[in-house]
Amino acid sequence: MTTPSVEDALRRTAVFRRLSPADRTRVAAVARLRVHPRGMMIFTEGDPSDAFLAIVEGRVKVFKSTPGGKELILEIFGPGDPLGAVALYEGAPFPASALALDDTTCLRIEQPDFFRLLEAHPPLVRGLLSGLTIRLAELTRRLAELTGARVEARFARLFLKLAEQIGRPDPGRGGVFAPMPLSRQELADLTGTTIETAIRIMSRWQKEHVLLTEKDGFVLIDRAGLEATAAS
Amino acid sequence: MTTPSVEDALRRTAVFRRLSPADRTRVAAVARLRVHPRGMMIFTEGDPSDAFLAIVEGRVKVFKSTPGGKELILEIFGPGDPLGAVALYEGAPFPASALALDDTTCLRIEQPDFFRLLEAHPPLVRGLLSGLTIRLAELTRRLAELTGARVEARFARLFLKLAEQIGRPDPGRGGVFAPMPLSRQELADLTGTTIETAIRIMSRWQKEHVLLTEKDGFVLIDRAGLEATAAS
DNA sequence: GTCGCCGTATGACGGCGGTCATACCCATCG
DNA sequence: CGATGGGTATGACCGCCGTCATACGGCGAC
Give me the pLDDT at residue B121, please.
81
Residue A170: name the closest of A219, A227, A223 by CA: A219
- The winner for highest mean pLDDT among A6-15, A112-121, A182-191, B32-41 is A182-191
Predicted confidence band at A204 (pLDDT cuts at 50, 70, 90)? very high
Task: Judge whether residue A90 has pLDDT over 80.
Answer: no
Task: Judge whether residue B66 has pLDDT over 80.
Answer: yes
Q: What is the residue-averaged pLDDT of chain A?
A: 89
User: Who has greater pLDDT, B132 or A179?
Assistant: A179
CB proximity under 8 Å: A 156-175 to B: 157
Predicted confidence band at B3 (pLDDT cuts at 50, 70, 90)? low
Give me the pLDDT at residue B184, please.
97
Give me the pLDDT at residue B104, please.
92
Q: Which residues of A touch B129 (CB under 8 A)?
A: 88-89, 128, 132
Output the DSSP codes for A16-40. Answer: TTTS-HHHHHHHHHHEEEEEE-TT-
CB proximity under 8 Å: A 36-75 to B: 64-68, 70, 72, 74
Q: Which residues of A touch B90 (CB under 8 A)?
A: 126, 130
Task: Judge whether residue A182 has pLDDT over 90.
Answer: yes
Task: Judge whether residue A3 has pLDDT over 70.
Answer: no
Measured to protein CB atoms, the chain C nucleotides within 7 Å are 7-12, 16-21
- The winner for highest mean pLDDT among A13-27, B35-49, B122-136 is B35-49
Q: What is the mean pLDDT of residues B157-171?
A: 93
Q: Is A228 on the interface with B (CB under 8 A)?
A: no
Q: What is the mean pLDDT of residues A217-228?
A: 94
pTM above 0.85, yes or no: yes
Task: Encode pLDDT of A106-127 as tens digits.
Answer: 999 998 998 888 888 877 887 8
Task: Encode pLDDT of A45-87 as tens digits.
Answer: 999 988 999 999 899 999 999 887 889 999 999 998 889 887 7
Task: Encode pLDDT of B106-155 as tens digits.
Answer: 999 998 998 888 888 877 888 888 888 888 999 999 999 888 789 999 99
Q: Pick the residue of B136, B145, B191 with the most A CBs within 10 A to test the interface with A by mutation.
A: B136
Predicted confidence band at A19 (pLDDT cuts at 50, 70, 90)? confident
Predicted confidence band at B2 (pLDDT cuts at 50, 70, 90)? low
